[in-house]
Amino acid sequence: MIPAAFEYLRASSADDAFAQLQRLGSDARVLAGGQSLIPAMRFRLARPAVLVDINSVAELNYIKMNGALTLGAIARDSDVERAPWIGERGWSLIHDVSRVVADPVVRQMGTVVGSLCHNDPSGDWPAVALAMRAEMVVRGKSGERTVPIDQFLVDSFTTAVAEGEMALAARFPVPDDRTAGSYQKVERKVGDYATAAAAVQLSLNADGTVREAGIALSSAGPCAVRIDEAEALLKGQQPTADLIRAAADAAVKKSEPQADLRGSIEYKKNLAGVLVSRGLRLALARLGVQS
């Protein structure tokens, strides 16, 4: 259970970290919170030759509201959980997820950007980022670029961050005052992977119709998945019970879970629909709408 030997480099700045990654290419991995990477190294599922530790890089340790909620590469889950705005309705999806990622101690090291870069099919943040239409800031050879989350999450454990590149931040759009969300996760015990989970974000127009819906699932296939059919069904409509049921059905259809000790495929698909339905109802309730 001891990781394979590696070389340890402590980055002194974001520039330094990037320069090391450019020099080392595929030999190096960024070490942020390490709460997924270190266990993977201990099981020898990951054997990076070099770790570039960014934990001391103060310029990457921030949570800012600058046109978007911007989380630097080493903003911890627990920092988000304790943020002063976390109780505001517009951030309710982030509120919900920040309390169920891994366990409370793991959250004091684990980072949001790291979780997105890890892109575990059972991770919580990828589904939330999809539902909120987040963007990632990635530094590459030709400078910084912003990558929409749909393009960032490529496949299981694979993102748009190429060899020698580095994710600097995640940006979540600031919700308007008619927006609320919900994160629904069923897990056997705290710290286990989700049996199924659904992230929902709803913005309403003044007349109560849906201006925009964001709906995504975790633990429902090789990668977090956007339920675009459900989003399209809701857009422009009054969110009636029938529509919520149709959105849940679309989630069941698109969910492609694997059978394991947590449940059968049939059970997990059904659960995905139930969680989308619950998430939509809670988001609407938070907006003062009965459904």
Partner 1 sequence: MKVSIKVNGVQYEKEVEPRTLLAYFLREDCGLTGTHIGCDTSSCGCCVVVMDGDRAVKSCTMFAAQADGHEITTVEGLAQGGALHPLQQAFWDQHGLQCGYCTPGMLMTSFVLLKHKPNPTEAEVREELAGNLCRCTGYNNIVKAVRQAAETLQAAPATK
Q: Which residues bind partner 1 (CB under 8 A)?
A: 1-8, 10, 31, 34-35, 38-39, 41-42, 51, 53, 55-56, 78, 82, 99, 102-106, 108-109, 190-191
CB 218 within 8 A of CB 122: yes
In whole angstroms, the minimum distance from the beta carbon of 5 to partner 1 comes to 6
In whole angstroms, the minimum distance from the beta carbon of 52 to partner 1 comes to 12
| Cβ neighbours of 25 (radius 10 Å) | 11
What is the rounded distance in angstroms from the CA atom of residue 73 to the CA atom of residue 110?
10
Helix (H), strand (E) at residue 10: strand 7-10
Q: Closer to partner 1 at the Cβ: 47 or 235?
A: 47
Burial class of residue 138 in the structure, from the number of CB atoms within 10 Å of its CB (0-12 exposed, 13-18 middle, 19+ buried): buried
| Cβ neighbours of 100 (radius 10 Å) | 18
In whole angstroms, the minimum distance from the beta carbon of 155 to partner 1 comes to 25
Q: Closer to partner 1 at the Cβ: 8 or 141?
A: 8
Amino acid at 22: Q
In whole angstroms, the minimum distance from the beta carbon of 50 to partner 1 comes to 9
Farthest CA pair distance, the chain: 61
| Cβ neighbours of 63 (radius 10 Å) | 17
Q: Closer to partner 1 at the Cβ: 76 or 269?
A: 76
Q: Closer to partner 1 at the Cβ: 10 or 133?
A: 10
Q: Closer to partner 1 at the Cβ: 54 or 132?
A: 54
In whole angstroms, the minimum distance from the beta carbon of 183 to partner 1 comes to 16
In whole angstroms, the minimum distance from the beta carbon of 122 to partner 1 comes to 15
User: What is the DSSP secondary structure assignment for residue 193, as one 8-state letter?
Assistant: P
**Which residue is associated with the tokens 């054997």?**
47
Q: Closer to partner 1 at the Cβ: 48 or 181?
A: 48
